[in-house]
Structure 1
Amino acid sequence: MTTIGINTLVYMDALHNGTPQSELLDTIVSHGITLAEVRREYIADDAEYDAIASAAARNRLTLFYSVPESITIDGNVNPRFRQFLDEAERMHVSNVKFNQGDIREVAPQTLRLIDKEAAEHGVTLTIENDQTPENGTFACTSASLEHIAANGSAVGYTFDLGNWYWRDEDPRIAFDRLLERITVFHLKNVNGSPDKNRLATTMLQDGVIDWQSMLQRLPSTVPVFLEFPIPTTQVAEQVDIVRRAVANR
């Protein structure tokens, strides 16, 4: 059975109002969710790492960690890579997601170092296609994943469904070609505006992407995260929509 998770971006209004992510974990579990992804950019102080760990343990939540930094820079491991993994270990995180950076160009020994550090910290890693020209195109994402596979690295792939629209890419084509590489799925829908300045995420049932057909083909071992801002009163509805979609696989 597919595991459904919630990324704390779902509660963007609360985050912008200063609500700690440790408090949001109590809300997430109230929806019957057992998997949550916290975001580094919204961790306000050092004490929050321990608060997140305590809240996750109290609620028996599995945690993922989203770090909006490139995993590699100028052909080398991000200088703060070990710091980020130390933070993940402190929170008892299972998976850490990074931007792909220039991982498609790094030497095999750099990939081995990345894998070694991840294993020592007890986490798995994924890279993501984001909304930037550096990290979001199909060409760079495909090249990154091919390089990782060719060198036997354990780094996985978070497929972000909606982000392709910001790069004028077709998410259906990307999904078809990258399906075998996907280890985490970030689910969102978009309004499909041809004007990127007006392009926006929307409720799952209101957007233009046929995400249901993709979930039908996605292996049940791949967790699916809601990862877009949702009004508080509609979170339960969006969770139920995904539950129904995965139940009909």
Structure 2
Amino acid sequence: MADAVDVVIVASAFGMDAVRTGGHLKWAEASKRTGAAGFEVRRELFAGEAEVAPQRLRALGAAIAELGLWMVFSTPASLYAADGRLDTAALRLALDEAAALGARFVKLQLGGFVHDADGVAIAEQMRGSNLRLVVENGQLAEGGSLAQFVGLFDALAREGRADVLGMTFDIGNWAWREVAPLDAARLLAPHVEYIHCKTTVGEGARRFPAAPAADDARFIEVLDGLPRDVPRGIEFPFDASRIEADAAHYVGWLAAV
């Protein structure tokens, strides 16, 4: 049997309103009880800007670390602006907030990347940081296309900065872009450092995240095509009638599958 991998629970899996109302710590505590190794804090799920003040983030991070969980800090901000330029202000803010929290990963959306990666500028912002920067494939055309991600890593390699960032590979989000996740995995696996695990139900604007079925061969094939030694995040909603039991089931399954 393969070694178990770290499983992270993304805060939104517990419900966005539940996190905004109860706070991240409540659901980090629930995550710990399920056997998860990590917890993804979502900036958009804080009740207000006061909660992302440095001292509040430090207190939250210390409390989550005390539980024995490591953290991902996720922001909906994009690394590249719509005009294709590196958004150094967005990156700097995300790094500062993630550092205050004490996160291991800081995750941004890719945004409007076109052809210039500005790897030197990214490296300058990352200098002295213990954080690992990852960008995620989103659901929108901007920041969600396979060509953008292939282009990003090709550009970083040309600049000699291939190691400056990695990728959060969201298996379910490719559906919004009509991309087969396995095709994306074949091209991007060398850059994947964190996996968001979900499938989808529905079509078009009525498409929603869902838990993968135990016999979903395509989902398992995608996982098999991605690095085995990177953490897997649960980003699908749990059964509201048995939240912690459902979460514990999927933590155990994803750690071993």
TM-score class, shorter-chain normalisation, is 0.7 to 0.9
For structure 1, list consecutive stretches of 5 or more residues without a partner in the other structure: none
Q: Which of 220, 227, 234 is the matching residue for 1:219? A: 227
Residue ranges of structure 2 left out of the alignment (5+ in a row):
none
Q: Give the alignment's TM-score, normalised by structure 2.
A: 0.85
Q: 2:195·2:232 contact (CA, 8 Å) conserved in 1?
A: yes
Q: Is the Cα contact below 8 Å between 1:148 and 1:155 reproduced in 2?
A: no
Q: Partner amino acid for 2:136?
A: E
Q: Quick check: 1:35 aligned with 2:34?
A: no
Distance change in 2, residues 1:135/1:149 (3 Å): same
User: Which deviations, in whole Å up to 9, do the C-alpha atoms of 1:151-196 show, x marking residues without a partner?
Assistant: 22421000001111111221121122212221110000112x3x31
Shift of 1:216: 2.9
Work out the number of aligned pairs and report it: 244
Report the Cα distance in structure 2 between the residues aligned to 1:165 and 1:172, rounded to whole angstroms: 11
Residues 113 and 148 of structure 2 are in contact (CA less than 8 Å); yes or no, is this contact kept in structure 1?
Answer: no
For 1:3, the equivalent position in structure 2 comes to 6
1:19 is aligned to 2:22: yes
Seen in structure 2, the aligned counterparts of structure 1 residues 213 and 53 have a Cα distance that, compared at 3 Å, is: same
Equivalent residues of 2:12, 2:19 under 8 A apart: no
- The one-letter amino acid of 2:142's match is E
| Cα drift, residue 234 of structure 1 | 4.3
1:219-238 superposed matches below 5 A: 219-232=227-240, 233-238=242-247
* 1:1-249 mapped onto 2 (5 Å cutoff): 1-15=4-18, 18-43=21-46, 44=48, 45=50, 46=53, 48-73=56-81, 74=83, 75-106=85-116, 110-151=118-159, 152-153=161-162, 154-191=164-201, 193=202, 195-205=203-213, 210-232=218-240, 233-241=242-250, 243-244=252-253, 246-248=255-257
Q: Which runs of 4+ in 1 moved over 6 A?
A: 206-209
User: Deviation at 1:99?
Assistant: 1.0
Kindly provide the amino acid, as one letter, of the partner of residue 116 in structure 2. Answer: V
TM-score after normalising by structure 1:
0.87
In the alignment, the residues of structure 1 paired with residue 253 and residue 216 of structure 2 have an alpha-carbon distance, to the nearest angstrom, of: 19
The alpha-carbon deviation at position 61 of structure 1 amounts to: 1.1
Which shows bigger deviation, 232-241 or 38-47?
A: 232-241
Task: Verify the 8 A CA contact 1:189 1:207 in the aligned structure 2.
Answer: no
For residue 101 of structure 1, report the CA deviation from its aligned partner.
Answer: 2.2
Deviations 1:122-156 (A, max 9, x none): 21101111001111111112212222233224210
Contact 1:63–1:94 (8 Å) recurs in 2: yes
Q: Which moved more, 1:4-13 or 1:112-121?
A: 112-121
Aligned equivalents of 1:216, 1:245: Cα separation in 2? 12
Amino acid at match of 1:21: H
SS of residue matched to 1:33:
coil
Letter in 1 for 2:224: Q
2:213 aligned counterpart, secondary structure? helix
1:120 aligned counterpart, secondary structure = coil
Residue pair 1:4, 1:223 contacting (<8 A) in 2 also: yes
C-alpha root-mean-square deviation of aligned residues, in Å? 2.3
Q: What is the identity percentage for the equivalent residue pairs of Structure 1 and Structure 2?
A: 24
